[in-house]
Every structure is written in structure tokens, then in C-alpha cells.
Amino acid sequence: MVSEAPPFWWEKAGWQAWALAPFSFVYGKVAGRTMKKARRASVPVPVICIGNFTVGGAGKTPTAIAIARAALAKGLKPGFLSRGYGGTLDVTTLVDADHHRSVDVGDEPLLLAREAITVISRRRVEGARRLVAEGVDLIIMDDGFQSARLTLDYALVVIDTQRGIGNGHLVPGGPVRAPLAEQMRQLTAILKVGSGQAAEAIVRTAARAGKPIFVSSIKPRPQPDFADKRVLAYAGIADPTKFYRTVEELGGQIAARRSFPDHHNFSDEEIRDLTDEANRLNLMLVTTAKDAVRLKGHHGSASELLSSTLVIDIDMVFDDPNAAGAIIDTAIRNCRQRKLAQA
């Protein structure tokens, strides 16, 4: 999978996308066949997969956290399953948010581990079985919709309404991970994030296919005395502009912004540049929770940058407050039916 989305993916299809069309065609054939014919293992607890149509952030991790909080409110013991992208550990690992670093387990698992038990595994079936052994009664899989080797009881596909599916081309000519028809066939429901219009066509297609459509928005947590502060905003996430909009929504005045690749580990030189510019222009440093966990656990300049940065946390909020609970209930029913069919 391509790790970084080039800008032309999110624009109207131009010469780059069409020049890569033969490669996209081959990629689509392989990805579609993989989704259609994958042999999937089963585990004895419900599995909810939070995925997206495209490469790049659509809000999967905050959605997974929202589902976990709803599960906890129901008295369940949820567990997160992540591939651990960006980490170096290649063995199934129970994540310890207080001791592991992002270079070991990835940044998103550290965010997840603050909410519920989290396991990373390059082999998701093995990771799921580890979660079952740890006593969870609901598995929430962060990503992996197109490559699942687990039987999914609910596949919730998240789509950002500002970017939609970009130019609509498959990798490498565009951001789409697998043929849309196959993705649509296998998903259970769609979650629209935000109030943009870029996702309307695919949402209408899903609605015509009888797929439930949920709506949500990303809400930043209040920051006292933040309004009108002049800030240097920096972010190493899939869509930094989303973070900059959040800063402005809170009333911050962005005087400078620095964007880095998704899952980026900051070098000492980059850290010095950020702190030097903030000091020179008398700006407050602000960043995302995902960037903050990549700085956590390090000493020296990284620790100093983190201590001088305001971290802006966000929550995924469903328009229907009962939506997350309904998703969990459906997954539980589907799991029961699956086990009866296998008996």
C-alpha cells in the first residue's frame, strides 16, 4: 500500500492519473480478487472493522474510539486490533501506552491504548486471537477492510466529505484502495464525516444499495483562553488541512503552518526549526494528539518541543447519539448468526 498520498490524487483526474491508468487497472484486479476470494478465519466474539475507501485519513481512529466508548457504556470489554503501521515491532504485541513508543508500535495504537486494551499484529487473525485470550468481548479493527483475513461482523467505512474519494482512480493513479463495486458489496454501512459535498455521489450509490448511512463530525475539545492566540500549527497526518481547520474553529490565528507526511517521526533539525520559528515570531505551538504521541517517550529536543506545545484533542461525534450503540448491537447479532451457521 502506498504510504503517502500525492497531491494530484485529491484533484480532478489529470495527466498523472491517466498515465498511471494501466497500473491502476492491474492493481484493481488484484485488490478486487483479494477482497472477493479472501479466506477468512473466525473468532468467537463480534468483529467491527473501521475502514475507508481510500489511502489517507478519513477519521478511522477517532471513529474506532467512539465505538469503544459506546461499548464500554454498554458494559462490554472492547479491544482494538491494529496493524501497528509506522512501528518496527513485527510480533503480536499488547500495547502499553505508558511504556511503548510510537517508533515501536505506531502512533495510532498508542492513541487507542489510552481507551481500551490494544494489540498490534501484522497478522490480524493472530492479533484477534490474542485479544480473545485477553478476555475482550468485542474487537474493533482499526483499518484493514480491504485486506481482512478475519470474518467481519460489521464493516463501517468512513468517508471524509471534504475530500471524498479524490480523483476516483485506483492506486497508484488515485487514492482508491480497491474497486468501489467490491468495496460497496462488502461494507455494512457508511459513516459520513463533516458537511462537505465531495462524498455525495458515493453516498447516494450506497443508499440505493440499501446500505445504512450514518453522519458524524469531528469536534475539538474546548481550549480555554485559546481564541485569538497567534500560533504555529504543525501536523504529520494524512490531511493536515483538517487540523488547521480545527485550530481555526477554536479561534486560533494561524500565523505559520508546517505540514509533514503521515506518521512522520520528527528529526532533531525539524524540531529545532519549529521551536526557533515559534520563538522568533512569538507564536504558540499547537499540534495533534497523533503527533504528540510520536514525540512522547523521547528525551532532549523532542521532549522540550512536546512540553511547549498545546495538544488539541478531538472526538468523533455521531449526529444520532444512538448510532454507535446500534452498530454494536448489529455486530453482536451478526456474530450470533455466524456462530449458529458454523455450529
pLDDT at residue 3 greater than cutoff 70? no
Contact 205, 230 (CB under 8 A): no
- Give the bridge partners for 230, in sequence order: 253
- pLDDT, residue 93, reads 96
What tens digit of pLDDT does each residue of 325-337 get?
Answer: 999 999 999 999 9
Mean pLDDT of 263-292: 96
Query: How many whole angstroms separate alpha carbon 288 and alpha carbon 299?
Result: 19
| pLDDT, position 4 | 64
Per-residue pLDDT tens for 147-175? Answer: 888 999 999 999 999 999 999 999 999 99
| β-strand partners of 168 | none
Q: In the prediction, which pLDDT does 86 show?
A: 82
Measure the CA–CA gap between 329 and 335, rounded to whole angstroms.
10
Q: Which tops the pLDDT comparison, 100 or 56?
A: 100
pLDDT at position 134 over 90? yes
Helix (H, G, I), strand (E, B) or coil at 325: helix
Distance between CA atoms of 289 and 41, rounded to whole angstroms?
Answer: 34
CA 100/CA 278 separation, integer angstroms? 29
The amino acid at residue 55 is: V
Residue by residue, DSSP assigns 305-322 as: HHHTEEEE-EEEEESSTT
Angstrom distance (rounded) from CA 97 to CA 95: 6
Give first-to-last CA distance, the chain, whole Å.
37
Task: Say how many C-beta atoms besides its own lie within 10 A of residue 307's C-beta.
Answer: 8
Position 264: which residue type? H
Instruction: Answer whether residue 1 shows pLDDT above 50.
Output: no
Give the integer Cα–Cα distance in Å for 9 and 185: 24
Within 8 A by CB and 6+ apart from 199, the residues are 159, 160, 161, 164, 165, 192
Give me Rg for the CA atoms of the chain.
20
Give the residue-averaged pLDDT of 178-205.
Answer: 95
> Considering the chain, what is the average pLDDT of its residues?
94
Cα–Cα distance, 189 to 126 (Å, whole number) = 26
Share of the chain above pLDDT 70, in %: 99
> Side-chain half-sphere of 154: how many Cα atoms within 13 Å?
30
Q: Where are the beta strands (DSSP E) in 161-221?
A: 189-193, 213-220
Q: Residue 201 above 80 pLDDT?
A: yes
The mean pLDDT value for 92-96 works out to: 96
| 7-62 pLDDT per residue, tens | 899 999 999 999 999 999 999 999 999 999 888 999 999 999 999 999 977 899 99
Instruction: Copy the grid coordinates of residue 115.
Output: 481507551
